[in-house]
Structure 1
Amino acid sequence: MNSSELIQEGLSLMAFGMGFVFVFLMILVFAMTGMSRLVMRFVPAPVKEEASRQAPPPVRSEDDVMAAISMAVHRYRQRHRR
């Protein structure tokens, strides 16, 4: 075999391999699309619940936040004494 025959055989093998992968991926896309449509047909869409009209959480002042942080630091230091 000379080099031109080897190159031609390599190119044909490459084309066959790429064609096989392309066909496999196309079959995979169609199968996934079909399964998705099948599932969407038999499984009902989730019902969205109406947002309950709750009062917004109370606004905390900076003093409350500082008190909570200092209490947390104090408890942490008590538990992790050396």
Structure 2
Amino acid sequence: MDTELLQEGVNLMAFGMGFVFVFLTVLVIVTGIMSKVVGRLVPEPAKSEDARPGRTPSPARDDDDVMVVIAAALHRYRQRRRR
């Protein structure tokens, strides 16, 4: 009787693992096909005329702008908290 129960457990485990393996395989294949289909149907975004290769803003300028905004917000916060 114990061997029957053990055999049934092994069969159930093999069936479950096989089902999961097949499902994941189908999922990978369908995802790959869907990726190729979407790549063909959706056009690439058009480059705007304003974005010229030589006219990109420097990261240092962006950092400076962010620091100015943070400093102003901190100053305003501290002024309001003193009251």
Same fold (TM over 0.5): yes
Please name the residue that 1:3 is paired with.
2
Count of aligned pairs between the two proteins: 70
Q: Do structure 1's residue 25 and structure 2's residue 24 form an aligned pair?
A: yes
**Identity value in percent:** 52
CA-CA distance at 1:44 after TM superposition: 1.8
Which TM-score applies when normalising by structure 1? 0.63
Shift of the 39–79 alpha-carbon distance from structure 1 to 2, 3 Å rule, reads same
With 37-46 and 7-16 compared, the bigger mean Cα shift is at: 37-46
Gap regions ≥5 residues in structure 1: none
Shift of the 40–54 alpha-carbon distance from structure 1 to 2, 3 Å rule, reads closer
Higher helix share: 2
Which TM-score applies when normalising by structure 2? 0.62
Shift of the 7–76 alpha-carbon distance from structure 1 to 2, 3 Å rule, reads closer
> Which digits, 9 at most, give the CA deviation of each residue in 1:23-69, with x for residues without a partner?
11111111111110000011122345543426754xx8xxxx9xxx6
Shift of the 19–40 alpha-carbon distance from structure 1 to 2, 3 Å rule, reads same
Who wins on radius of gyration, i.e. which is larger?
1
